[in-house]
């Protein structure tokens, strides 16, 4: 891409960070910019499948807890309306209702499956926040039967929120190959390690599947060679 196009459509401030990291070597900056995109791209498979595993694990656990496979529909008028949730503006309930309205506008039948699949990662990790966690009797922690004993609700939430934040940055094409102004992929490696730990704590048998779709290391190696 020509510099005039890059500056106009990708923005000069965005690109300047890459230039700074490589001592204003324009050729290396181009390679680094493109390599960052490829690293972000390589994270999509493991991030998206982790979200599926987390979502389905929580849905299964809460279906048993409420003895109701339609809990996500029925509980919007029960625990999701609890007065203690007013400070969070009844986040879970509003998310479910918004999905129901969206489905209705499109003429799509409202089912628990449709609502569950429409909720974003923020919805699911919100169950590890104290105000939701208490109302569902601490059930979310039980989706991690293999976790170390030192891991508790707060530490699990912290890891999940780090993954959510990283995923959002990936989706918005933000750089994930820096530490300050230096080329460094330690954050990406840390996020990948947290993801694998959480997967193993859910079920170690899932790890080979994730490794089979994970090519992040080759993209990291490419960045570090620029």
The residue with tokens 């400070």 is 87
The residue with tokens 């509003």 is 94
Which residues, 6+ apart, have CB-to-CB distance to 122 below 8 Å? 164
Q: How confident is the model at residue 7 (pLDDT cuts 50, 70, 90)?
A: low
d(CA 183, CA 181): 7
Residue 178 phi/psi, 5-degree rounding, is -130, 155
| pLDDT single digits (tens) 46-88 | 999 999 999 999 999 999 999 999 999 999 999 999 999 999 9
Paired tokens of 217: 């290391």
pLDDT at 9 over 80: no
Q: How confident is the model at residue 130 (pLDDT cuts 50, 70, 90)?
A: very high
Q: What is the pLDDT of residue 6?
A: 64
């Amino acid at each position: 891409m020509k510099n005039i196009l890059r500056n106009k459509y990708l923005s000069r401030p965005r690109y300047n960070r890459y230039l700074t990291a490589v001592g204003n070597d324009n050729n290396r900056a181009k390679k680094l910019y493109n390599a960052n995109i490829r690293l972000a791209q390589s994270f999509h498979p493991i991030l998206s499948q982790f979200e599926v595993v987390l979502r389905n694990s929580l849905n299964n656990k809460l279906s048993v807890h409420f003895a109701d496979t339609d809990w996500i529909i029925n509980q919007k008028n029960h625990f999701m309306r609890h007065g203690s949730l007013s400070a969070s503006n009844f986040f879970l309930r509003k998310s479910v209702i918004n999905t129901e309205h969206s489905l209705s506008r499109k003429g799509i039948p409202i089912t628990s499956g449709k609502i569950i699949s429409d909720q974003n990662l923020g919805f699911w990790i919100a169950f590890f926040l104290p105000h939701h966690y208490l109302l569902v009797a601490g059930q979310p922690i039980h989706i991690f039967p293999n976790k170390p004993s030192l891991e508790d609700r707060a530490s699990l939430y912290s890891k999940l929120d780090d993954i959510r934040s990283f995923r959002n940055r990936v989706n918005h094409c933000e750089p994930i190959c820096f530490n300050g102004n230096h080329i460094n992929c330690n954050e990406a490696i840390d996020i990948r390690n947290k993801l694998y730990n959480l997967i193993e704590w859910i079920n170690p048998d899932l790890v080979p599947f994730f490794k089979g779709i994970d090519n992040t290391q080759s993209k990291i190696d490419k960045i570090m060679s620029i």
